[in-house]
Structure 1
Amino acid sequence: MFLLNVLLALAWSALSAQFDPPNLIFGFLLGYLVLWLTVRGENRSYFTRVPRVLSFMAFFLKELVKANLNLAITVLRRDMNLKPGVVAVPIDLPNDAAITLLVNLVTLTPGTLALDVSSDRMMVYIHTLNASDPQEFRRYMQEGFVRRVKELFQ
């Protein structure tokens, strides 16, 4: 379904003779609407997955910008006031792909680094530059990244 949606977006851009990003995005959205109106049966899961993926991408971009700004402010302060540490964050993810995505996203976020996953795959160890309140960091990770990755793989 995704490939068909991309092909519809490319067809729209070809018909309008404009291959710029706004036109491709509009073509993708238009193709999504056409597919939503015409597809019946078992292929309907695509229409719940695309909004989830878009929501997840928006969430991650927001967190990425927030983390960059926080780190820049911390570094530019006269007293950096860093309290680095390793925090164990419980995870309940359905498969290895979800765990891999979580670990990579944590590592991409400035100020955090995923160090290891427990052998039972129920805990991820994350190094953070601000471990002054481990419970708060654990809650932030579980309600943000872990919950959203889990929703993405359902």
Structure 2
Amino acid sequence: MMRRILPHPLLSLLLLLVWVMLVNVVTLNAIVFGVIVGILIPMITAPYWPDMPKLRNPLMIAEFILVVIWDILMANIHVARIIVFKRNADMQPRWITVPLDIRTPEAITVLAGTITMTPGTVSSDLASDGRSLLVHCLDAPDPDAVIAEIKTRYERRLKEIFE
């Protein structure tokens, strides 16, 4: 019975927290509506999510989030330096193919979203076999270093979280 009401409890909690942050006030009305949203959306979408991902290492999730926040901050500074100090002739934009070791759709989606959220990079395409991701970099003098950074900073952690 509880599984029918809360098919995805973490999603329900996340929806409640996001709702309270969106309304920007902690009142009984906001919490009650957040609980309603947190229950209804997972119930409605549960049939479309038959294979719920298994999160193996919850502490690694916190580490992953902190790494991503740090990388976004550092990438903002790096992109600002590129814009202010580099000339167009000095920039080396590149398309890079990142081979993937992760296989679960959720992990690949989180990786692609993380790359896109980080200023200076955009994930553009996933190979039809799901074994590589096409990434555009604003300035990548060493493509192998970019691939290594994506694999060690993000993919390794996602592999521990999802697989």
Q: Which has the higher contact order (CA 8 A, sep 6+)?
A: 2
Instruction: Please give the residue correspondences for 1:69-148 in structure 2 after superposition, counting only pairs within 5 Å.
Output: 69-77=77-85, 79=87, 81-148=90-157
Worse-matched range after superposition: 101-110 or 128-137: 128-137
User: Aligned equivalents of 1:78 and 1:135: distance in 2?
Assistant: 22
Structure 2 residues without counterparts, runs of 5 or longer: 1-8, 15-25, 28-53
Q: Who is 1:54 aligned against?
A: 62
| Percent identity (aligned) | 27
Count of aligned residue pairs for this structure pair: 117
Contact 2:116 2:123 in 1 (8 A): yes
Contact 1:56 1:152 in 2 (8 A): no
Q: Who is 2:162 aligned against?
A: 153
- SS in structure 2 of the partner of residue 87 of structure 1: strand
User: Aligned equivalents of 1:70 and 1:96: distance in 2?
Assistant: 30
- TM-score, length-normalised on structure 1? 0.66
Structure 1 residues without counterparts, runs of 5 or longer: 7-17, 20-45
Runs of 4+ in 1 over 6 A off after TM superposition: none
* Change in 2 beyond 3 A, CA 1:78/1:89: closer
Cα distance, 1:82 vs structure 2? 1.3
* Change in 2 beyond 3 A, CA 1:75/1:149: same
* Change in 2 beyond 3 A, CA 1:120/1:58: same
- TM-score, length-normalised on structure 2? 0.63
CA-based RMSD of the aligned residues comes to 2.7
